[in-house]
Structure 1
Amino acid sequence: MKSREQLVTRALQKLKVLAAGQSPSAEDYQVVNDDVEPVLSDLSTRNVYPFGDPDQIEDNAFVQLAICLAIASANDFGSPQIDSGLSNEQLRLSTESRLRELTAQTLSGQPLQVDYF
C-alpha cells in the first residue's frame, strides 16, 4: 500500500516539478494535495476506479492514479503536457482504461462477504 504523501510526490515527479529523491516544497505539495479527493471522487463517480482511503492506495493502481492527479494539476504548474509521446487527453484515456481493468480484476472473482444475523 502507498500513502497519500507518496501519491502527491509521484504526481509532482510526473509533472517534472520534483526530481527523484527530492522533497516537495510546501506550496507545490499543497496544490497537488488539494486535488487528491476531487480526482479520486471523479474517477469513482465515473466508475473508473472506486474511491477509497487516499492514505491506503493499492500498489497496482498507484502509478495510474499519480498520472491522473498530475494531469489534473498540470495547469497549476505551467506544464500542460505530462508525457511527450501522448497528449494529456490520450494519456488520461489510456490511464483510465488501465484503472478500469484493475477494478474489474479486483472486483470480480472475489467471494461475496455476507453478514449473518
Structure 2
Amino acid sequence: MKTRNDLIIATLKLLVSDGGAGQAPEPEDVVEIDNIIDGKLAELNRRQIYFANDPDNFDDEFVDPLAIILANTAAPTFGQPRNPQSQATAESTLRQMKNSNFVPGSSVETDYF
C-alpha cells in the first residue's frame, strides 16, 4: 500500500523534480502536485476510469499509472510539454485493472446462500 506522499514523489520523479538522490523535493513542488490530486481523482472517477476509495492510500499497482496522469497534468507548470500518448496509455491501464464487478457511484452488498 502506497501513501499520497508516495504518489507525489513518484509524480515528481517523472517530472525530474524529486530533488535527486538523497535529497528532498522542494516543498512548493510537493504542494503543486498535492493540489491537483483530488481534482484529477474526481475526474477519473467521473469518467469511470479509476475510483479511489481512499485518496490518501493507493494499492501499489495503481501508483505508476496515476503518477503518469498527474505528471502529464502538471507538466506545463514544470516547464515540460504534455504527452497525450502516455496519458492515454495510463488511462487504458487503469481501465484494464478495474474490477469486472465495478459499479460506479455505489457499492453492492453480497448476500451469500
1: CA distance between counterparts of 2:35 and 2:75?
A: 13
Per-residue CA deviations over 1:29-70 (Å, capped at 9, x if unaligned) read 101110000111111110011132121101111111111111
Q: Structure 2-normalised TM-score?
A: 0.84
Q: Equivalent pairs: percent with the same residue?
A: 34
Q: Tell me what 2:40 maps to.
A: 39
Where in structure 1 are there 5+ consecutive unaligned residues? 82-87
Q: Structure 1-normalised TM-score?
A: 0.81
Distance 1:106 1:77, change over 3 A: farther
Asked if 2 retains the 8 angstrom alpha-carbon contact of 1:11 and 1:66, the reply is yes
Where in structure 2 are there 5+ consecutive unaligned residues? 103-107
| Matching residue within 73, 97, 101 for 1:102 | 97
Aligned length: 106
1: CA distance between counterparts of 2:22 and 2:61?
A: 21
Matched, 1:113 2:112: no
Structure 1 stretches of 4+ moved >2 Å: 19-22, 104-107, 112-115
